Amino acid sequence: MKFLDQVKIYVKAGDGGSGSPSFRREKFIEFGGPDGGDGGKGGSIILVSERNLNTLIDFRYQQHFKAERGRDGSGKNKTGRGGEDLYLKVPVGTQVFEEDNKTLIFDFKKENEKFVAAIGGNGGFGNTRFKSSTNRTPKKFTKGTIGEEFWIYLQLKTIADIGIIGLPNAGKSSLLASITSATPKIANYKFTTLNPNLGVAMYDDKEITLADIPGLIEGAHQGTGLGIKFLKHIERCKALLHLIDISENDLINSYLQVRDEMGKYSSELLKKQEIIVFNKIDLIDENEIKEKIKDFEKIIKKSTFTTSTLDKKSVSDIKSTLLYYVS
């Protein structure tokens, strides 16, 4: 499924139906009086959060949404039928912004939350409403009000238990594929991942949702590489799995480069729980691995884990570690 995390859509609620100017026209009733009914209310446009969605791709090919208009009132004091509400499904994690794309008006954080994006117009009054002791045959009626209409932005911030971060080609997609049923694109070159990939891992009958975030490079907070477009997806994660290619020459620089870009984007990201994992341990010998980890932990002063996507046991160990951080 293609990933899309920002769209601009036009929403138009239904107009209210007009009231009726009807009069009774029955045999043997010479002066029947008014019997015009009210118009029906226009349908509203309602956004509903859906857990099983993880992209806004459905809005790429249709950007205009209009709810049904209310029906006009009729004689015999019949009120017009209200217009049907139009429901639009969005993923959990979707934020709704005004047309300036800066003013947040709603944030979907849970499943089945509802937000009325555009309210339908009220129905007009029929002439019966205007009957009085001084005006027995009013011809006055009102038209329905116009339904709300405007452009809004939808932005998706992925909600996951664990966000997998690191430099390009650190093996994030391979790790996601090895511990979940996700099938991200995997290749030995930078920026294989152009969009966040989601996967679900099961361990001890418990579910862990992981997001593979595209690689961060220097200047990402300013939009370099894939930049800010994907830094925002880290904000929703409960914890971060920082994956580092252990075959890199300077592990400390690789680690600090990613942390620096995160901090420049938002200092709050640096406060999240972090699991540091050295990947690709199958590429170098065991003594070199120990030496590199010792030097790293001496300076960074954080405990680390090791794995290889080719080693099922180490992958299983990572799963159990992740469960500890999200339970």
Contact 236, 160 (CB under 8 A): yes
The burial of 112, by beta-carbon neighbours within 10 Å (0-12 exposed, 13-18 middle, 19 or more buried), is given as: exposed
Check residue 186 and give its pLDDT: 39
Q: In which residue are the tokens 């799995």 written?
A: 241
pLDDT at 41 over 50: yes
CB atoms under 10 Å from CB of 206, counted, come to 12
Spell out where the chain has E strands. Answer: 6-12, 45-50, 64-66, 86-91, 94-97, 104-107, 114-118, 149-156, 162-165, 197-203, 206-212, 239-245, 273-279, 304-306
SS3 sequence, 200-247? EEEECCEEEEEEECCCCCCCHHHCCCCCHHHHHHHHHCCEEEEEEECC
* Cα-based torsion angle of the residue sequence 256, 219, 60, 6 in order, rounded to the nearest 10 degrees: 70
pTM, rounded to two decimals? 0.70
288: Cα separation from own chain's centroid: 43
Residue type, 280: K
Domain ranges of the chain: 1-156, 162-326
pLDDT at 230 over 80: no
The CATH classification number of 162-326 equals 3.40.50.300
Check residue 219 and give its pLDDT: 47
The CATH classification number of 1-156 equals 2.70.210.12
Contact 270, 263 (CB under 8 A): yes
Check residue 327 and give its pLDDT: 66
pLDDT at 104 over 80: yes
- The side-by-side arrangement of strands in the sheet containing 94-97 is 64-66, 6-12, 149-156, 94-97, 104-107
